[in-house]
């Protein structure tokens, strides 16, 4: 009887979980306020509209039904509900305010707008959709902590959340689902989610701001909401639906190409030389790298090269005192003498930090906008400023440069605040920038062309929602090696910011110094990041033993399939204050290979943790329903643990990290009693695999080049071959289930190599 009751309870739990997972989102009007439900359960309640006018007055009231229908738009088939605001008291000249909510059938995502007709709204939080969250358990948000950057915040009471967040993920006290809420932008307005103190009490709200005191919007995109059991699918579903439904100019990361230049290991002048950069210093660094046989793929000349006066750009060419031969001479030497494939330069979004100097060479003949304090920037209105970038980029291309890093993008508000809607200013500036860059910095040889451009100081909606072709973006505050705590803060920010930013561009985890005491910690993080990797040592300080582990001999980076993401067990937890390691996972698939690298970092004190297959996204480990065995290789002690992919198997691998510790765990499926790890002398070992084929009792691994090869074998190999040549047993080792073929057993020849493994019978 007990067994039957237990089975019944398990069945009911499974049915409840299934019902909650498959539940639809609905909007219900209840006594003049709205409720957002998932199936029968409440998610958001007491939803109401408040409008703040430019004169300081506020208008709110009950909502009433104003129609319901269905339709189709660029995001697909939807069901639509409309709710009209009935102001309490004086409407203050507001003729109409109608909340429109659509639920899209394909994704289940809910998208909301406000249609408005009335006087100018307050420049900050002119539109507020106030709400309460039901049965809230725990959440994570990406919070703007500067005007440029976001960082994760964690909370068990949503009322403690701050106001300026650009994504919010949470779970309720019951049910397996995750809930995602993201603010939208358009119609001159840009949104945020969070809590503000209104009339002495905290209120959760979605707010939209124009940053322009005389602006009255017409149609304001407010938010997108998605829910489901897989947290990694929710941002993609929400942003794909919302971008299509609201007609955003920008595109999402997977809809754009990745630039060829950033598939190679690079060097940047910033931390090495700062504002004191010169042509001679750059050439000395490149010469040193060539002598150390560091496979250099690109050089980025950062801040300090430009002709400026009082923090304003005066000319497009370099400061002649630092670059006496001009930028063309530098690029020519880098390419011809040192065979550097790609060369780029840094500049700010507005020309320089305070814009463009009036009546200067850089200003002449171009449409410029006079902003706050008389500061000039390329005019973001109706394409008038495009010629500024086009003139500059045409010169750079002619001098031999093929990419740019564009900094200070979040500074647009410092130039246009109160003069035009911020989302329009940012959007117009990005149209100018990208249109010019497309003409000169597009690597059209790729099937999906990428744009040679890094966005920086840019983690705000007026920027990220307007990246139509640019597809690389800095994802944290600056690398600051002089600060002891910076490695942990840096990795912590980048890891969690990727849950948000990687929807719009490949995250750039910033440069690092290979002679930094924490260099290996930084290098391991960059290896799994899924974005560009570049370092910034002075001449002679480079450490090739670290840098060569990031790339192949020709400079090509070893990269994962997708940007790294925080593991599922930590998405809503804060490892900077909890005694557990931060873990991120990065999938690597090749023909015949399913692998994943889990990078673990101590961002707290001495910590201990564990890893399992279920911590990471669904990478097909189950093999269509059958339980898979996954071999996990620990880089530091070279041991292997077998893990089961079945949720009931409970196999996990414990490990500890010291105060500045990191660990790389390479997970690969066991097929034919073999799990291929790849080149163990690389941080991202499986990325060096070209293909794996099995048949005739053998496993054949094609490698991008020779190296320290490793694989897990269920039993000692009968024969191991390299490029068709059988190795003696002294040319490889088999210890603890790990086959290791050292680099010297491959010989000196470069190019692709082949390892063939034959196992004896069971």
Q: What is the CB neighbour count within 10 angstroms for residue 60?
A: 18
H-helix or E-strand spanning residue 740: strand 738-741
Rounded-to-integer distance, Cα 219 and Cα 100, Å: 10
Helices 326-336 & 279-291 angle (0-180, nearest 10) = 10
Rounded-to-integer distance, Cα 378 and Cα 351, Å: 8
Rounded-to-integer distance, Cα 553 and Cα 703, Å: 13
**Residue 380 contacts by C-beta under 8 Å, 6 or more apart in sequence?**
369, 412, 416, 420, 424, 425, 426, 427, 428, 429, 431, 432
**Residue 500 contacts by C-beta under 8 Å, 6 or more apart in sequence?**
142, 150, 166, 167, 235
**Residue 556 contacts by C-beta under 8 Å, 6 or more apart in sequence?**
263, 264, 295, 297, 704
Active site residues: 407, 478
For 268, 302, 310, 469, 744, the CA distances from 307, given in Å and listed in that order, are 19, 13, 11, 28, 51
Question: Which residues are registered as beta bridge partners of 759?
Answer: 717
**Residue 662 contacts by C-beta under 8 Å, 6 or more apart in sequence?**
520, 521, 524, 525, 599, 600, 601, 602
Rounded-to-integer distance, Cα 720 and Cα 760, Å: 11
**Burial 237-261, CB ≥16 within 10 A → b, else e:** bbbbbbbbbbebebbbbeebbbbbb
Q: Tell me the three state secondary structure of residue 27.
A: strand
From start to end of 602-652, where are the E strands?
607-611, 629-634, 640-644
First to last CA, the chain: 44
Q: What is the CB neighbour count within 10 angstroms for residue 84?
A: 17
**Burial 626-641, CB ≥16 within 10 A → b, else e:** eebbbbbbbbeeeebb
- Enter the DSSP assignment of 336: H
Rounded-to-integer distance, Cα 290 and Cα 309, Å: 35
Which 3-state string (H, E, C) describes 107-134? CCCEEEEEEEECCCECCCCCEEEEEEEC
Residue 6 burial class via C-beta count within 10 angstroms: exposed 0-12, middle 13-18, buried 19 and up: exposed
The CA-based diameter of the chain, rounded to the nearest angstrom, is 91
From 369, 409, 367, select the one nearest 390 (Cα to Cα): 367
Q: Are 401 and 437 in contact (CB under 8 A)?
A: no
Q: Are 596 and 630 in contact (CB under 8 A)?
A: no
Q: What is the CB neighbour count within 10 angstroms for residue 666?
A: 26
Is beta strand 33-38 parallel, antiparallel or unpaired with respect to 41-52? antiparallel
DSSP, residue by residue, 161-230:
--S-EEEEEEEESSSS-EEEEEE-EETTEEEEEEEEEETTEEEEEEEEE-S-TT---SEEEEEEEEEES-
Q: Are 362 and 377 in contact (CB under 8 A)?
A: no
Q: What percent of the chain is helix, strand and coil (3-state, nearest 5)? A: 25, 40, 40
Token code pair at residue 752:
């692709």
Question: Which residues are registered as beta bridge partners of 343?
Answer: 299
Token code pair at residue 628:
């898979």
H-helix or E-strand spanning residue 78: strand 76-87
């Amino acid at each position: 009887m007990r067994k039957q009751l237990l089975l019944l309870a398990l069945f009911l739990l499974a049915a409840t979980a299934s019902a909650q997972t498959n539940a639809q989102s609905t909007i219900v009007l209840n006594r003049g306020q709205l409720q957002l439900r998932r199936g029968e359960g409440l998610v958001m309640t007491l939803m109401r509209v408040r409008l703040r006018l430019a004169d300081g007055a506020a208008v709110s009231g009950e909502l009433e039904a104003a129609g319901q229908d269905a339709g189709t738009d660029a995001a697909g088939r939807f069901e639509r509900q409309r709710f009209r605001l009935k102001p309490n008291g004086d409407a203050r000249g507001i003729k109409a305010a109608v909340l429109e909510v659509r639920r899209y059938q394909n994704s289940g995502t809910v998208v909301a707008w406000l249609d408005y007709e009335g006087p100018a709204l307050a420049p900050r939080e002119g539109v507020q959709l106030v709400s309460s969250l039901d049965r809230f358990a725990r959440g994570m948000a990406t919070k703007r902590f500067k005007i440029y950057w976001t960082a994760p915040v964690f909370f068990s009471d949503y009322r403690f959340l701050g106001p300026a967040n650009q994504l919010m993920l949470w779970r309720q006290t019951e049910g397996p689902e995750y809930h995602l809420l993201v603010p939208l932008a358009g119609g001159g307005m840009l949104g945020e989610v969070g809590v503000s103190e209104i009339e002495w009490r905290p209120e959760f709200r979605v707010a939209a701001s124009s940053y322009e005191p005389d602006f009255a919007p017409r149609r304001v995109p407010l938010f997108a909401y998605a829910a489901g059991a897989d947290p990694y699918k929710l941002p993609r579903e929400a942003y794909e639906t919302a971008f299509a439904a609201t007609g955003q100019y920008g595109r999402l990361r997977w809809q754009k190409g990745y630039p060829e230049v950033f598939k190679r290991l690079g060097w940047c002048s910033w931390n090495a030389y700062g504002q004191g950069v010169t042509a001679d210093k750059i050439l000395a660094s490149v010469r040193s790298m060539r002598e150390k046989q560091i496979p250099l793929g690109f050089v980025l000349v950062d801040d300090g090269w430009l002709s400026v006066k009082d923090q304003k750009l005066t000319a497009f060419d370099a400061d002649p005192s630092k670059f006496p031969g001009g930028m063309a001479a530098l690029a020519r030497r880098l390419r011809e003498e040192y065979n550097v494939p790609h060369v780029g330069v840094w500049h700010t979004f507005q020309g320089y930090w305070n814009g463009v100097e009036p009546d200067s060479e850089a200003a002449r003949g171009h449409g410029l906008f006079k902003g706050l304090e008389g500061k000039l920037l390329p005019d973001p209105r109706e394409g008038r400023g495009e010629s500024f970038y086009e003139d500059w980029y045409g010169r750079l291309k002619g001098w031999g440069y093929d990419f740019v890093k564009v900094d200070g993008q979040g500074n647009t508000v410092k130039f246009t605040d109160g003069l035009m809607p911020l989302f329009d200013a940012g959007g117009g500036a990005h149209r100018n920038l990208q249109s010019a860059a497309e003409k000169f910095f597009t690597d059209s040889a790729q099937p999906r062309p990428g744009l040679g451009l890094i966005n920086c100081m840019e983690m705000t909606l007026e920027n990220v929602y307007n990246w139509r072709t640019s597809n690389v973006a800095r994802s944290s505050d600056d690398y600051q090696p002089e600060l002891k705590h910076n490695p942990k803060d840096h990795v912590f920010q980048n890891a969690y910011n990727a849950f948000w930013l990687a929807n719009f561009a490949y995250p750039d985890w910033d440069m690092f110094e290979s002679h930094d005491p924490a260099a290996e910690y930084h290098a391991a993080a960059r290896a799994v990041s899924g974005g560009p990797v570049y370092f910034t040592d002075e001449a002679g300080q480079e450490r090739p033993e670290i840098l060569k582990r990031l790339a192949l001999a020709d400079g090509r980076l070893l990269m994962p399939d997708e940007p790294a993401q925080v593991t599922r067990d930590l998405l809503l937890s804060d490892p900077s204050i909890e005694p557990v390691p931060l873990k991120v996972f990065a999938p690597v698939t090749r023909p015949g290979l399913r692998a994943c690298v889990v990078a673990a970092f101590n961002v707290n004190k001495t910590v201990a943790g564990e890893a399992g297959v279920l911590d990471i996204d669904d990478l097909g480990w189950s093999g269509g329903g059958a339980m898979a065995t996954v071999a996990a290789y620990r880089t530091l002690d070279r041991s292997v643990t077998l893990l089961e992919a079945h949720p009931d198997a409970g196999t996990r691998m414990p490990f500890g990290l010291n105060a500045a510790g990191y660990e790389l765990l390479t997970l690969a499926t066991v097929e034919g009693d073999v799990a291929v790890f790849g080149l163990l002398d690389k941080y991202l070992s499986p990325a060096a695999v070209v293909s794996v084929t099995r048949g005739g009792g053998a496993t054949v691994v094609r490698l991008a080049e020779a190296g320290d090869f490793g694989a897990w074998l269920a039993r000692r190999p009968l024969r191991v071959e390299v490029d068709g040549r059988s190795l003696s047993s002294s040319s490889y080792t088999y210890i603890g289930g790990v086959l290791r073929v050292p680099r010297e057993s491959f010989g000196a020849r470069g190019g692709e190599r082949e390892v063939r493994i034959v196992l004896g019978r069971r």
